[in-house]
Amino acid sequence: MTEYNEKSIKILEGLEAVRKRPGMYIGSTDKRGLHHLVWEIVDNAIDEAINGYGKKITVTLTKIGSVRVSDEGRGVPIGKHASGKSTPEVIYTVLHAGGKFETDGYKVSGGLHGVGSSVVNALSKWMKVTICREGKICEISFKNGGKLDKDLKQIGTTKQTGTTVEFFPDEEIFGNARFSYTTICERMQESAFLINGLTMEVIDEEDDKHNTYCYDNGLVSFVEYVNEGKDVLQKVINFSSEKNGIEVDIAMQYTDSYNENIMSFVNNVKTVDGGSHEVGFKTALTKVFNEYIRANSLLKSKEGLDGSDTREGLTAIISLKIPESLLQFEGQTKGKLGTPQARTVVESVVYEKLSYYLEENKESATAIMDKALKSKLAREAARKARAEARAGKGKGKSEKVLLGKLTPAQSKEYHKNELFIVEGNSAGGTAKSGRDKRHQAILPLRGKIINCEKSTVADLFKNEEINTIVHAIGAGVGADFDYTESNYGKVIIMTDADDDGAHIQTLLLTFFYRWMRDLIEHGMLYIAVPPLYLVKYNKDKKYINTNEELNEFKNTFKGKYTIQRYKGLGEMNADQLWETTMDPAHRTLVKVRIDDKALAEKRVGVLMGDDSEVRKEWIEENVEFTLEDDYKGVGSK
Ligand code: 2B7
């Protein structure tokens, strides 16, 4: 390990740079950016834990809106730095101040690798750091974007060691956005899954609740967690190995669903865009399956299984530890592993261990192979159905029936066109009169949408509503879906702002998530937000979208007013619907995003599973959250 001393910290740049362009350092200044602050601080605590110091990290959301993170590590060094300042002052006020912080040659956690603390300080109204070390309790504080407030000072004695960082995000930068307990819990749980033995505690002082996460066999627990409530084909398969300095740890399990859910991490950082390790994993899977099927004469046709057949219903977590010297990331956001050795190592480990597993566990092997063979059949059937649909495009009778409900847009500039999927016929009619004919198409939903969580391709094609959507978008479905062929640049779900509307939203989201995921991943799926209230005062009026906004109005408005609550889209006339919900200049759209595949998977699972009580609860508590808002993310007409 590299000798760490006060001198190894380099002074490079001032914190003003961070305040000038926060996006450069934390990605954005929305809710995502706000939470990034927490991740940066927590990552330092995780690094310390992975280095072998401290097994517990606590994150507290305080009543006043600050966040406090504590670890039980060695405590940030408290000596003087070469510059004459205290080491903590340098760490928290100088950009790029960071000693080498490594174990066995690999960087161990994500974020800005130790440079994050000063970035967080720069974006905070105030920050307080408490250090327990060498028998002392010392404190240093900063205010107004990282300016020293009170210099490092001993305030007591202790036998313990560790660091506590509390900060209050600057409202000038983040507005009055609030931290989300759920978001923080989810992230801390994920870290606990990845680092065996690490205890993560999250406390919400305002709502007086807390959660603790700690796992001894984390990857297995991770997979069990994701698959909770689903029917599984076998116990979680788990194997780990080391080759050429790369450690591979994998947990996997098949469920009776039709979805593939592979997540990978490198040195505890999620590789959102996959990369060489995932390629190696998939290659091995296909090879092992086809060899097994040949050896056991399970398939007559010459043509073997497709890779996708071997991954249907699969949940897998791949976690790699790669020495820094071999690390290579690609892509705009550096979320894709490039390291070529990762591919060969994962491929050979999976090939070896999975072949062995199948030989040793015949019953599981049969269930898994059966599933893959069924997938092959379904895939071939879907391809045939699609070919037929294509051949008859625009001519066939069925096509006319299917598209009979659609009021198309006039423009041929597909990427500028928007498809509104509208709940109910009457709202559909209003939307039709209110829309911008050139670019907006209206598709009213009449019948019930099928619950896609439990359906096969065949069920899907039998459902008229789904069929109509597929035909209207015109870009295929499932493995054949190609978002570049979409007839619309935006697909917008427009429902009433009530329970039923929320249910329809989740059914539609499930469908898009399962069968047109690329539409979501390319930011083409949206949810319209109709107003909840219309208030009229003097001779003026104002539409209000949330209850908070209404309260604010009530508290600040002096004078007479009336409030009308909109129960549904149908209560608005065409002009009102256009003005409030459809007009790109004034409407609010929520862009549907998949931030976290595991969680999306879990949410969709919970939402669409058999238990309607659980579902109702979830919709009430989480629909807002599930849809992670990206307000005003609209293009111009
Ligand atoms: C790169 C910088 C940020 N640091 C140390 C040592 C321990 C340590 C830290 C930390 C977040 C919230 C509670 C090293 C590393 C600074 O140098 S940061 N623990 N925990 C932390 O930030 N938690 C350290 C070598 C010897 N002794 C202490």
Per residue in 312-371, pLDDT (tens digit) is 999 999 999 999 899 999 877 778 999 999 999 999 999 999 999 999 999 999 999 999
User: What is the rounded distance in angstroms from the CA atom of residue 106 to the CA atom of residue 510?
Assistant: 39
Question: How many angstroms is it from 111 CA to the middle of ligand 1?
Answer: 14
Pairwise CA distance, residues 194 & 216, whole Å: 10
- In the residue annotation, 500 being an active-site residue is answered as yes
8 Å CB contact between 417 and 439: yes
Active site residue 47: no
265 lines ligand 1 (CB under 6 A): no
* Residue ID of nearest Cα to ligand 1 atom 17: 76
Question: What CA–CA distance (Å, rounded) separates 479 from 481?
Answer: 6
pLDDT of res. 515: 86
Q: Do residues 407 and 582 make contact, with C-beta atoms less than 8 angstroms apart?
A: no
For the question of residue 629 being annotated catalytic, the response is no
**Ligand 1 pocket test target in 67, 74, 121 with most atoms within 8 Å of CB:** 74
Cα separation, 351 vs 565, in Å, equals 61
State both tokens at 619.
Answer: 């919709």
**Residue nearest atom 25 of ligand 1, based on CA coordinates:** 4
Distance 142 CA to ligand 1 centre (A): 18
State the Cα–Cα distance between residues 153 and 160, nearest whole angstrom. Answer: 17
| Structure confidence at residue 105 (pLDDT) | 39
114-152-113 Cα angle (round to 5): 0
Binding site membership of 39 for ligand 1 (Cβ less than 6 Å):
no
Contact 282, 349 (CB under 8 A): no
**What is the spatial distance between Cα 275 and Cα 340, in angstroms, rounded to a whole number?**
9
Q: Which of 102, 423, 465, 630 is catalytic?
A: 423
Q: What pTM was computed for the model?
A: 0.73
The token pair at 523 is 């930011």
What's the rounded Cα separation, in Å, for the pair 632 and 584?
9
Q: What is the pLDDT of residue 111?
A: 45
- The residue behind tokens 């993310």 is 633
Among protein residues, the one with the nearest Cα to ligand 1's atom 23 is 45
Q: Are 418 and 486 in contact (CB under 8 A)?
A: no
The 10 Å Cβ neighbour count of residue 379 is 19
Q: Ligand 1 in contact with 124 (CB < 6 A)? A: no
231 contacts 88 by C-beta, under 8 angstroms: no
Handedness of CA 358, 364, 365, 371 (dihedral sign): negative
**CA distances (Å), origin 567, targets 497, 572, 616:** 7, 10, 19
- Among residues 500, 521, 595, 610, the one annotated as catalytic is 500
Distance CA 14, CA 147 (A): 11
Listed in order, strand segments (DSSP E) in 413-461 are 418-423, 440-445
How far does the chain reach from its first CA to its final CA, in angstroms?
Answer: 57
Spell out the residues 6+ positions from residue 84 whose beta carbon is closer than 8 angstroms to its own: none
Kindly give the parts of the chain with pLDDT less than 70: 1-13, 96-115, 385-402, 447, 454, 457, 595-637
Q: How far is the CA of 91 from the centre of ligand 1 (A)?
A: 9
Where would I find the beta strands (DSSP E) of 327-391?
329-330, 336-337
Residue 430 neighbours by CB under 8 Å, 6+ apart = 569, 570, 572, 573, 574, 577
Please give the pLDDT value at position 452: 74
- Is residue 498 annotated as a catalytic residue, yes or no? yes
Q: What separation in Å is there between the alpha carbon of 201 and the centre of ligand 1?
A: 19
